[in-house]
């Protein structure tokens, strides 16, 4: 059942993500796109830091009161997050938007969907995003389990490390926005992508594991 819910969540998130990115591209000028996203992500990170600390404290507090009912704490947090997400969708739906022009005659639904794939540059982007998201989403869920089960860290310590990562993101997002507007996203990804993978490999090296113990 959990797999089914995750599948539906990822499917709808993919559809809404495409619509959101296209919408933002139409609303924001190209020369300010990087600055806008960096500012937006910095605000998201700041809110995420506060909520992550509160969630970690809540889970540890719940475990102290009801150690046999730990899953209910996670379920409650996911329920609250879902409700907040639905409220956000309500406010987004109230934003006025001009009606899109009708598609040209002779282009059916499949023709419209397949037209971007005919662009070689877009196909390269799809291959990169597909491989990147597959690798990150495959590995990242196990990081928390590894820290809790293998390194015997408490949830508060895991949240602290997560917040530390978010603080680093918050610090460098403004720099990232300036660089993308000046040099392009591709140039930034060519440097940050390999560095991200190297940091993952370094974190799983035997020397790093002995240091954590």
- pTM, two decimals, is 0.52
Q: What is the pLDDT of residues 102-150, one digit of tens each?
A: 666 656 667 767 777 777 887 887 788 788 878 777 777 777 787 888 7
What are the contacts of 154-159 at 24+ separation with CB within 8 A?
154/60, 155/56, 155/59, 155/60, 155/63, 156/56, 156/57, 156/60, 158/56, 159/52, 159/53, 159/55, 159/56, 159/57
Q: What is the pLDDT of residues 143-170, one digit of tens each?
A: 778 788 877 877 778 878 877 877 777 7
């Amino acid at each position: 059942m959990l797999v089914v819910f995750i599948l539906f969540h990822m499917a709808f998130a993919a559809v809404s993500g495409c619509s959101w990115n296209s919408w933002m591209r139409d609303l924001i000028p190209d020369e300010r796109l990087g600055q806008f996203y960096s500012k937006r992500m910095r605000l998201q990170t700041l809110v995420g830091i506060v909520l992550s600390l509160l969630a970690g404290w809540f889970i540890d507090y719940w475990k102290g009161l009801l150690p046999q009912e730990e899953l209910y704490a996670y379920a409650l947090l996911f329920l609250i997050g879902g409700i907040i997400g639905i409220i956000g969708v309500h406010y987004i739906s109230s934003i006025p938007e001009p009606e899109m022009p009708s598609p040209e005659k002779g282009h059916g639904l499949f023709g419209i969907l397949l037209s971007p794939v005919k662009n070689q540059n877009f196909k390269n982007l799809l291959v990169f995003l597909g491989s990147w998201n597959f690798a990150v989403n495959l590995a990242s869920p196990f990081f928390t389990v590894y820290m809790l089960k293998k390194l015997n860290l408490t949830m508060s310590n895991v949240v602290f490390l997560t917040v530390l990562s978010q603080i680093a993101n918050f610090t460098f997002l403004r720099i990232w926005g300036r660089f993308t507007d000046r040099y392009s996203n591709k140039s930034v990804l060519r440097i940050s992508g390999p560095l991200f993978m190297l940091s993952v490999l370094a974190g799983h090296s035997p020397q790093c594991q002995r240091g954590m113990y």
